[in-house]
């Protein structure tokens, strides 16, 4: 290739790339991202030690007034439309701290209440997002739960 051709290609790319970036930014500002968002699973989410291991998981607990009825459900049950590989990232981004939970819209809370009521079989007045750390030990028959510790709790009132 001649120097003139290389220079022309370089200038064309120098103009094209910022324009393409601007178009993507504008489309992303007014609409959804023009490409799928990938949320990769966390690496080393199971901590292994000498004779056992620990797992951190999230449970959604719905209840009626004065806890007359209660029902625990996993995120996979509450959000069946979300692929299993995306559940940890979804829970981390939307339900990991009090601020993000309190910013859920009224429509979002109504959807959570309706979906939880369909699953639990009763209309809940509150939902608790509970983060648990479970400790297992290895035995001859497999893994046995030693203990579960509640490491966090956020409540949504309906």
Pair (69, 112) in one structural domain: yes
Pair (22, 94) in one structural domain: no
- pTM listed for this prediction: 0.66
Pair (8, 50) in one structural domain: no
pLDDT in tens, 3-19: 999 999 999 999 998 98
Pair (51, 124) in one structural domain: yes
Pair (33, 96) in one structural domain: no
Segments forming the whole domain that contains residue 29: 1-37
Q: What is the DSSP string of the chain?
A: --HHHHHHHHHHHHHHHHHHHHHHHHHHHHSS-SSPPP-PPPTT-EEEETTEEEEEEEEEEEE-GGGSSEEEE-HHHH-TTS-GGGHHHHHHHHHSSHHHHHT--HHHHHHHHHHHHHHHSS--SEEEEEEEEEEEEEETTEEEEEEEEEEEEEEEE-
pLDDT in tens, 77-130: 999 999 988 898 899 889 988 998 988 999 999 999 999 999 999 999 999 999
Pair (99, 28) in one structural domain: no
Pair (75, 126) in one structural domain: yes
Whether 48 shows a pLDDT value over 70: the answer reads yes
pLDDT at 65: 83
């Amino acid at each position: 290739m001649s120097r003139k051709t290389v220079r022309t290609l370089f200038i064309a790319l120098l103009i094209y790339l910022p324009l393409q970036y601007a178009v993507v930014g504008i489309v992303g500002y007014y609409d959804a991202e023009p490409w799928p968002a990938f949320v990769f699973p966390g690496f080393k989410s199971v901590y292994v030690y000498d004779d056992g291991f620990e797992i951190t998981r999230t449970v959604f607990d719905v209840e009626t007034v004065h806890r007359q009825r209660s029902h625990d459900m996993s995120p996979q049950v509450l959000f069946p439309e979300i692929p299993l590989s995306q559940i940890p990232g979804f829970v981390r981004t939307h339900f990991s701290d009090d601020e993000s939970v309190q910013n859920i819209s009224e429509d979002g809370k109504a959807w959570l209440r309706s979906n939880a009521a369909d699953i639990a079989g009763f209309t809940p007045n509150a939902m608790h997002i509970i983060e648990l750390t479970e400790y297992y030990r290895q035995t001859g028959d497999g893994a046995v739960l030693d203990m579960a510790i509640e490491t966090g709790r956020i409540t949504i009132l309906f």
